[in-house]
Structure 1
């Protein structure tokens, strides 16, 4: 089997990853199943097998380190651990030649990005209109218009709280949910802006307001976005969510 098993706890995962922010602030301790490390001629890698966590219901193998090293071992490592999904840095996926090189099923891989901040974001116009706990019926109507395929919706068991931003006439124009993967670390999700109100900075204002409030009680706040969502990427970078990881994930071929 590639690499060596160095532990089976969250503490082992943090140590093996060199204190990686994603492991510390997104992977719950209860989800860690196995931790491995290894190396190739290209450098070192580490891997964490995680079980189901929040709305990831299948578990995954998270592999990171030197991109060339990850590209060289990811496919065989996934097979050795039997993880149903594989997640690697986008740079490693590119070096491996994409889904086929990683042993994943073409057409079912997906790119996404994880971002976090530990510092309050610069104040944004409209931020003073951000308020907690809008009626869930208003949130549901907005998501139907703005993001009908959102993973997180009112009634989702992992939602801790909703926030919203209203226009002059009281209409809910933007919404977002606070979820949680690692205990005590808020993860923002289902951030959406009504189609008629886009381009005015409302999504950024909502994100900034939620984050400012949450950092008063928590060490970090995180969020995720699809790799193809360039508008969201620019917004989050502009308001301070510039650090993080870009990943590619998916199920094995066959």
Structure 2
């Protein structure tokens, strides 16, 4: 495998490249990520994506370091799959995706699931808003939240009432919930913004920015960092997050694998 080295911990990957996704989504102490490999500042490791069963192999890094890992990808997947039969996904930095699909084409059926960006910030947000935000309860407000998401965004990763949200914020107008969002916790223990949605009749009023800013401030207050994921094609949302201080760490492309 050339310069590829199997590593015994995520901390070893972080020692080679202090990557925010590895630090705040996977976590230095994660056992789920093993087996894992490094090649220069590139790495390949296992991850259990939220809202999905099974495991995904992530592969990231600059092309020169990552291409040996891509060349070895069939062997890495075979090796990891012997002890992790639930390994059915592959997520790569987008600039590596085409090469990986080409390398695996004779062994796997590789289908693109979607392109998404992972962002983070360490800074609180200063924002003025006329909207009054209030904390919601995951249990007692679950029915109202479910009805709201059914209209505002049925595909939002919100999960009210399931105990996965540690903190909820919402905005009501004349008693009706018109915006909401939540904080989940990554496997590494970092706050992760999710389920940010605005009722269609209230869009372009600054509500999305207000909820995002307030959740960001709560996350930074709790842990010194806020993280989020967004579909890469959602240029308007990415532009908003950038204005609020977020930086893209990875533009990912996720796939399903069938032997």
State whether TM-score is above 0.5: yes
Q: Does 1:59 align with 2:58?
A: no
Distance in 2 (alpha carbons) for counterparts of 1:162 and 1:2: 48
Q: CA deviation at 1:70?
A: 2.9
Q: Does 1:129 align with 2:108?
A: no
Q: Is the 8 A contact 1:176 1:189 kept in 2?
A: yes
Q: CA deviation at 1:21?
A: 0.3
What is the correspondence of 1:1-254 to structure 2 with a 5 Å cutoff?
1=1, 3-16=3-16, 18-28=17-27, 29-38=30-39, 45-50=42-47, 52=48, 54-67=50-63, 69-70=65-66, 73-74=69-70, 76-81=72-77, 82=81, 83-93=87-97, 96=99, 99-100=101-102, 103=105, 105=109, 107-126=111-130, 129-134=132-137, 135-167=141-173, 169-254=174-259
**Which sections of structure 1, spanning at least 5 residues, go unmatched?**
none
Match of 2:84 in 1: none
Distance in 1 (alpha carbons) for counterparts of 2:63 and 2:129: 39
**Which sections of structure 2, spanning at least 5 residues, go unmatched?**
82-86
Distance in 1 (alpha carbons) for counterparts of 2:127 and 2:94: 32
Distance in 2 (alpha carbons) for counterparts of 1:14 and 1:84: 25
Q: Is the 8 A contact 1:188 1:223 kept in 2?
A: yes
Q: CA deviation at 1:233?
A: 1.2
Q: How many residues get paired?
A: 244
Q: Which moved more, 1:7-16 or 1:175-184?
A: 7-16
TM score, norm. by length of structure 1:
0.84
C-alpha distance after superposition, 1:218-238 (max 9, x if no partner) = 121101011122221121112
Distance in 1 (alpha carbons) for counterparts of 2:258 and 2:72: 13
Distance in 2 (alpha carbons) for counterparts of 1:109 and 1:138: 31
Structure 1 pair 53/109, CA: closer, same or farther in 2 (3 Å)? closer
- Give the match's secondary structure for 2:95: helix
> What is the Cα-based RMSD across aligned positions, in Å?
2.5
Q: CA deviation at 1:75?
A: 6.1
Distance in 1 (alpha carbons) for counterparts of 2:69 and 2:31: 26
